[in-house]
């Protein structure tokens, strides 16, 4: 029978008694493209033993539609029936022996029409003979489609189905939008979607393939991806309609996002999955009807956290309206498996988190978590909420919002009262109100003339606005302007509630800017003034509450630099100072909080000093309220930058309460504020003397271990000031404070490193302390910090090295042992003046060593120092002159400096008003005067006139240097005159 099938028919001939007709009638596209064949010899023409082929063979049986179309099909049906349990083997063998059976029976023209996508039976009816074939083509196509549908219905063990694929594509397409897109483009290769949600051709679906995607990353070449039930993989980019068109060229990844993270470093750096995808088992359990029913899932990027830059950039970007958001949420089936992703708009914003600041500003930032010195602070990432749409609370809120929208005045008041009974501290309730449009209705009520409705709406908004997404939504819906407008209300309670709402919403950066731009700062200050004017009234409780709410709103808004200036300009500081006389704790905390935020501005500090505010801050340090003590300490920390404030704190006996606060070691926030205030107050030596009576240095030394960095920063800063008094060097050695200090040099916090290096440098001025530093390898650690990228750390480490070199006999040996002169010379190209001055000071110390100076000369120290002589910075001029002076004492360096052009700038240094610059320049000119050519240059540039006054210097070495230099210039001039 098989020989007859393979050899007995000519092409195009149809014979009903042939088993080949069975295969033809049952097999169309399903056999030619869905079946999976082996490709390696000797089994080239064999069917693979796969589940797909097994399911396909089971479907190739005589269907009712074929057997009812004539006796020939009936006979073939009986032929298969007679094979009994071996019929699958019979069919498989026939398929393997007649892989191109369509061409053999129908001819190439009919076969190509049947296999093609554009088959049309009418176009084949050209003659009477073709009519039979055409009708058979139609019959086979219908049967073929039914076989594929049955086959696809059976292949349901998918690990990655169309539902998850669509969610992935929604997210990737979202990532390809906007100016800060992570991908250039994402698209399907086919826009047609089949009944089961797949886009791959049916014969490809039978092999487990779902769709084909083309993704163009930002940093790599275009990727052609196949999504299948086992996962996703890269293909050759061919045509899926052709055999071998989409060949797997990579490993299989669990999902598209994982593939992109592996293939695109730019994408991987800026997208971080917070919640992993469910496993294939979980997907199978939760996806009961994968290939049937609704295929629409809520886009997974519904739960994105968007990292934006500053507030202004975020404000310019278009936002979805709440109605559009609601419509999008309500459409389709909501999936419970929604990983939350975090997307950064660009890599630059990741690196921008580390900012270069001055040491003072950096320490202030670490000491005050609530304060930000940047104009418009970076917004916190938006965190979307999830609500349970079937919960009783959600249904109740839905009804309440419905009546709130349609009810009259009385109904509105009743609904507002009912909403106040809800637990609005739960984020899910807030989300439900927002999604049903309730937030917009509440904001609209603020524009009405009914004060009761306003107060009800404001009370609800106060509780809702504790949620960060609600703060963002209120700003987006222009609700902040409505709140500011209500500060002009004639009803005091409405003004108070509006101010309290602003205090909550003001935690959002753009909202603070809107308050300022809408004139809200002046209106909030007016609330304070109204209370102060009404103090003589017997009943001023409402005015007091309005003032308290106004102070809270100002505190919230004062976290912006421009708002601080606006508060000071509007006269808010004196009014806040008057409120400090209040005994009400709830009033004092926001008042002091606003003052300490504004104290970072110099203009505000001047006002604070002149209005006896320091006296009240010191007074409230003894309060029973920890929060009030923290705010007062922070206020003193910022104000004590000025000498006048430090004197006032000492005058009002505020140093003792600060020392007492050091006992609160369990409250780290209070401890950080107290140590910060002690640090700034100890800048004045008179205060250090008082502190020492209370053993503060010993207490601070005990805080060098097991404390948060914000405490360590302040402690190290305070110890630096204490060690400026020589007697305290022995004290810190006795309490074993040097060892933990050296260990802190291994930390990475930049502000901490700045203060610790200064403290180590102060310790190094004592010879006994220097021995301990040597034992702990402190010089090597300091030298290593010269390679730190922070200029403040570099300069403070260099100054500490100078102290170590001066007081250690083995310092030069240590430097020679690790050959670190190259690091020093590299820093001479820095643009930071403090770094340059400190490095010049180090070079001046190292140049005294006869073994190091030749090395410096070989590295080109002459040209590097000469390039710096055009500076106008007196501190740099001072140490640069010292470095040149000591470098001249080797070989022909004096002549080399003259040839490089260093003499003339040094003569100009003599015109400086800084006596230290004139003294160091005199010493440098003296060393240069040993070269005759340099003397002629000095003479022509008027150096003698500048040197003569230096002969009367109080320092003998300067006197001698000036006199000798004048002598050398005169001798050279006389020699030239004699020679001529």
SS (H, E, C) 443-457: HHHCCCCCHHHHHHH
Q: Distance between CA 900 and CA 893 in Å, rounded?
A: 10
Write the CA distances from 257 to 168, 233, 263, integer angstroms: 7, 12, 10
Cβ atoms of residues 215 and 186 within 8 Å: yes
Residue 195 confidence class, pLDDT cut points 50, 70, 90 = confident
Q: Kindly report the average pLDDT of the chain as a whole number.
A: 78
Q: Do 162-270 and 831-979 come out as alike in CATH topology? A: no
Average pLDDT over residues 812-840: 87
Which of the two residues, 312 and 160, has the higher pLDDT score? 160
pLDDT at 329 over 60: no
**Residue 233 belongs to what H/E stretch?**
strand 231-234
Q: Distance between CA 675 and CA 663 in Å, rounded?
A: 11
Lowest-confidence region among 380-384, 407-411, 798-802: 380-384
pLDDT at 938: 96
CATH fold, domain 162-270, is copper amine oxidase-like fold (3.30.2280)
CATH placement of domain 831-979: 1.25.10.10
Cβ atoms of residues 296 and 362 within 8 Å: no
DSSP 710-760: HHHHHHHHHHHHHTTSTHHHHHHHHTT-HHHHHHGGG---HHHHHHHHHHH
Helix (H, G, I), strand (E, B) or coil at 215: strand
pLDDT at 379 over 80: no
Q: Distance between CA 598 and CA 429 in Å, rounded?
A: 36
For residue range 868-909, what is the model confidence (pLDDT) as tens digits?
A: 999 999 999 999 999 999 999 998 999 999 999 999 999 999
For residue range 86-130, what is the model confidence (pLDDT) as tens digits?
A: 666 666 666 666 656 556 656 666 555 555 444 444 454 454 456
304-307 and 341-344 strand pairing: parallel
Lowest-confidence region among 137-146, 227-236, 255-264, 428-437: 137-146
Cβ atoms of residues 573 and 607 within 8 Å: yes
For residue range 643-668, what is the model confidence (pLDDT) as tens digits?
A: 999 999 999 999 999 999 999 989 99
Q: Is 214 left (phi over 0), alpha (psi -120 to 50) or beta?
A: beta
Cβ atoms of residues 52 and 151 within 8 Å: yes
Radius of gyration of the chain (CA): 42
**Residue 874 belongs to what H/E stretch?**
helix 874-887
pLDDT at 935: 95
Residue with tokens 């039976």: 121
Cβ-count burial 490-506 (b if 16+ within 10 Å, e if not): eebbbbbbbbbbbbbbb
Q: What percent of the chain has a predicted confidence (pLDDT) above 70?
A: 70
Q: Distance between CA 915 and CA 946 in Å, rounded?
A: 12
- Domain 695-818 belongs in CATH node 1.25.40.10: no
For residue range 215-228, what is the model confidence (pLDDT) as tens digits?
A: 999 888 899 999 98
Helix (H, G, I), strand (E, B) or coil at 342: strand
Which candidate, 304, 302, 382, places its Cα nearest to that of 335? 302
Helix (H, G, I), strand (E, B) or coil at 186: strand
Domain layout of the chain by residue ranges: 162-270, 695-818, 831-979
Q: What percent of the chain has a predicted confidence (pLDDT) above 90?
A: 48
Q: What are phi and psi of 730, to 5 degrees?
A: -70, -35
pLDDT at 705: 92
Cβ atoms of residues 722 and 688 within 8 Å: yes
Tally of CA atoms within 13 A in the half-sphere of 518 that contains its CB: 23
On the question of a cis peptide bond just before residue 533, with omega within 30 degrees of 0, the verdict is: no
pLDDT at 952 over 50: yes
Lowest-confidence region among 405-409, 689-693, 708-712: 405-409
């Amino acid at each position: 029978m098989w020989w007859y099938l393979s050899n007995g028919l000519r092409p195009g001939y149809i014979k009903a008694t042939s088993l080949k007709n069975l295969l033809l009638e049952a097999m169309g596209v399903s056999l030619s493209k869905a079946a999976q064949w082996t490709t390696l010899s000797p089994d080239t023409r064999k069917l693979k033993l796969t589940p797909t082929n097994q399911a396909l063979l089971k479907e190739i049986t005589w269907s009712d539609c074929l057997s009812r179309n004539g006796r020939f099909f009936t006979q073939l049906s009986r032929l298969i029936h007679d094979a009994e349990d071996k019929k699958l083997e019979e069919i498989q063998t026939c398929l393997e022996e007649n892989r191109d059976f369509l061409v053999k029976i129908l001819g190439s023209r009919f076969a190509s029409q049947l296999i093609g996508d554009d088959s049309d039976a009418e176009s084949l009816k050209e003659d009477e003979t073709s009519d039979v074939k055409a009708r058979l083509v139609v019959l086979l196509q219908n049967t073929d489609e039914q076989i594929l549908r049955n086959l696809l219905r059976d292949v349901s063990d998918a690990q990655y189905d169309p539902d998850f694929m669509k969610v992935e594509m929604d997210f990737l397409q979202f990532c390809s939008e906007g100016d800060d897109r992570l991908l250039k483009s994402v698209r399907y290769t086919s826009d047609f979607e089949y009944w089961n949600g797949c886009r791959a051709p049916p014969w490809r679906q039978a092999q487990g393939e779902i769709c084909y995607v083309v993704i163009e990353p930002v940093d790599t070449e275009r990727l052609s991806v196949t999504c299948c039930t086992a996962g996703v993989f890269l293909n050759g980019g061919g045509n899926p309609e052709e055999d071998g068109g989409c060949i797997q060229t990579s490993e299989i990844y669990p999902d598209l996002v994982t593939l992109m993270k592996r293939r695109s470093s730019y994408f991987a750096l800026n997208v971080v999955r917070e919640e992993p995808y469910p496993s294939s088992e979980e997907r199978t359990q939760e996806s009961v009807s994968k290939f049937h029913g609704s295929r629409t899932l809520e886009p997974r990027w519904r739960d994105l956290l968007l990292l934006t830059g500053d507030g202004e950039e975020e404000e310019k970007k278009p936002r979805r309206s709440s109605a559009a958001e609601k419509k999008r949420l309500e459409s389709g089936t909501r999936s419970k498996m929604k990983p939350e992703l975090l997307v950064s708009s660009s890599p630059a914003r990741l690196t921008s988190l580390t900012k270069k600041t001055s040491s003072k500003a950096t320490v202030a930032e670490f000491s005050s978590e609530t304060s930000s010195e940047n104009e418009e602070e970076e917004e916190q990432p938006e965190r979307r909420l999830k609500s349970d749409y079937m919960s009783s609370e959600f249904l109740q809120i839905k009804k309440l919002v419905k009546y709130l929208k349609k009810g009259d005045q009385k109904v509105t008041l009743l609904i507002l009262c009912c909403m106040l009974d809800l637990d609005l501290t739960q984020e899910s309730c807030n989300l439900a109100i927002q999604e049903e449009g309730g937030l917009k209705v509440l904001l609209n009520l603020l524009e009405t003339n009914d004060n009761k409705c306003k107060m009800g709406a404001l009370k609800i908004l106060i509780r809702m606005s504790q949620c960060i997404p609600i703060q963002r939504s209120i700003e987006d819906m222009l609700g902040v302007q409505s709140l500011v407008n209500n500060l002009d209300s004639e009803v005091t309670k409405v003004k108070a509630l509006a101010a309290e709402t602003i205090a909550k919403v003001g935690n959002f950066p753009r909202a603070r800017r809107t308050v300022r731009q809408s004139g809200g700062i002046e209106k909030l200050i007016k609330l304070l003034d109204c209370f102060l004017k009404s103090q003589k009234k017997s009943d001023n409780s409402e005015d007091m509450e309005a003032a308290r709410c106004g102070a809270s709103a100002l505190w919230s808004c004062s976290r912006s630099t421009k708002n601080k200036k606006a508060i000071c300009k509007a006269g808010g500081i004196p009014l806040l100072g008057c409120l400090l006389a209040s005994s009400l704790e709830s009033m004092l905390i926001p008042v002091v909080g606003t003052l300490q935020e504004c104290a970072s501005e110099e203009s505000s500090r001047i006002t604070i000093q002149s209005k006896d505010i320091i006296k009240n801050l010191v007074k409230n340090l003894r309060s029973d309220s920890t929060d009030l003590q923290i705010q007062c300490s922070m206020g003193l920390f910022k104000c004590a930058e000025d000498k006048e404030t430090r004197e006032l704190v000492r005058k009002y006996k505020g140093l003792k309460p600060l020392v007492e606060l050091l006992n609160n070691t369990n409250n780290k926030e209070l401890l950080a504020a107290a140590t910060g205030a002690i640090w700034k107050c100890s800048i004045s030596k008179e205060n250090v003397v008082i502190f020492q009576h209370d053993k503060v240095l010993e207490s601070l030394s005990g805080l060098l271990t097991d404390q948060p960095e914000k405490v360590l920063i302040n402690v190290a800063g305070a110890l630096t000031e204490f060690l400026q008094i020589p007697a305290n060097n022995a004290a810190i050695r006795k309490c074993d404070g040097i060892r933990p200090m050296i260990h802190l040099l291994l930390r990475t916090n930049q502000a901490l490193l700045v203060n610790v290096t200064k403290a180590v440098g102060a310790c190094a001025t004592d010879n006994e302390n220097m021995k301990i530093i040597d034992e702990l390898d402190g010089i090597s650690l300091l030298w290593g910090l010269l390679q730190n990228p922070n200029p403040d750390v570099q300069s403070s480490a260099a100054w500490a090295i100078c102290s170590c070199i001066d007081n250690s006999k083995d310092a030069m040996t240590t430097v020679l042992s690790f050959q670190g002169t190259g690091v020093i010379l590299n820093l001479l190209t820095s643009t930071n003046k403090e770094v340059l001055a400190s490095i010049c000071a180090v070079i001046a110390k190292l140049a005294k060593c006869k073994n190091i100076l030749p090395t410096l000369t070989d590295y080109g120290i002459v040209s590097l120092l000469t390039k710096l002589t055009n500076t106008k910075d007196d501190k740099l001029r001072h140490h640069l002159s010292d470095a040149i002076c000591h470098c001249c004492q080797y070989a022909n360096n004096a002549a080399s400096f003259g040839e490089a052009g260093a003499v003339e700038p040094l003569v100009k240094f003599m015109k400086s008003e800084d006596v230290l610059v004139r003294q160091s320049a005199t010493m440098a000119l003296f060393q240069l005067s040993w070269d005759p050519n340099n003397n002629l240059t000095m003479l022509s540039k008027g150096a003698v006139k500048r040197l003569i006054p230096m002969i009367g210097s109080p320092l003998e070495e300067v006197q001698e240097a000036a006199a000798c230099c004048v002598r050398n210039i005169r001798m050279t001039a006389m020699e030239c005159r004699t020679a001529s």
